[in-house]
């Protein structure tokens, strides 16, 4: 694999997939979904005020784009172009990379009241987000 694959990507699909992945986070971490459980697992009581500046949105958007771009490169390099192949790709990047890294972080993060709950919620988000991105990238060439 080489960076020459960047020229072969459908950049519109990469941008749309990144936005879909990011947008899923707005739903996933909303109070009606996993937001309250995630905040409790993080040890946030709601009174601390938390960050509400632009970085709260810009950083996750940028990281979703980077993860989507990496997934697009893998999809391009492997010729992934079916829903079945997109699911396998999502398992590889969503579980094999994202969830594995989050698991180690959660296991050793003694600052969180419930690190493994945080891992489960965040790992689920990244898996579903990368699954959606993988499907978009694989089918929209």
The DSSP annotation for 83-131 comes to: HHHHHHHHIIIIIIIIIHHHHHHHHH-TTSTTHHHHHHHHHHHHHHHHH
How large is the average pLDDT for residues 11-19?
A: 97
Whole-number mean pLDDT of the chain?
91
pLDDT, one tens digit per residue, over 58-112 is 999 999 999 999 999 999 999 999 999 999 999 999 999 998 999 998 888 878 8
Q: How far apart are CA 36 and CA 47, in angstroms?
A: 13
What pTM, to 2 d.p., does this model score? 0.89
């Amino acid at each position: 694999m080489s960076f020459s694959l960047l020229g072969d990507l459908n950049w519109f699909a990469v941008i749309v997939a990144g936005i879909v992945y990011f947008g899923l986070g707005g739903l996933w971490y909303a109070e009606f979904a996993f937001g309250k459980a995630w905040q409790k697992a993080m040890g946030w009581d709601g009174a601390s005020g938390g960050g509400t500046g632009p970085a709260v949105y810009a950083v996750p958007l940028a990281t979703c784009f980077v993860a989507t771009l990496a997934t697009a490169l893998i999809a391009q390099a492997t010729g992934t172009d079916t829903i079945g192949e997109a699911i396998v790709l999502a398992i590889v990047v969503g579980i094999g990379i994202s969830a594995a890294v989050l698991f180690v972080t959660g296991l050793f993060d003694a600052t969180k009241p419930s690190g493994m709950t945080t891992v489960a919620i965040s790992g689920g988000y990244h898996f579903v987000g990368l699954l959606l991105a993988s499907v978009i990238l694989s089918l929209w060439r």
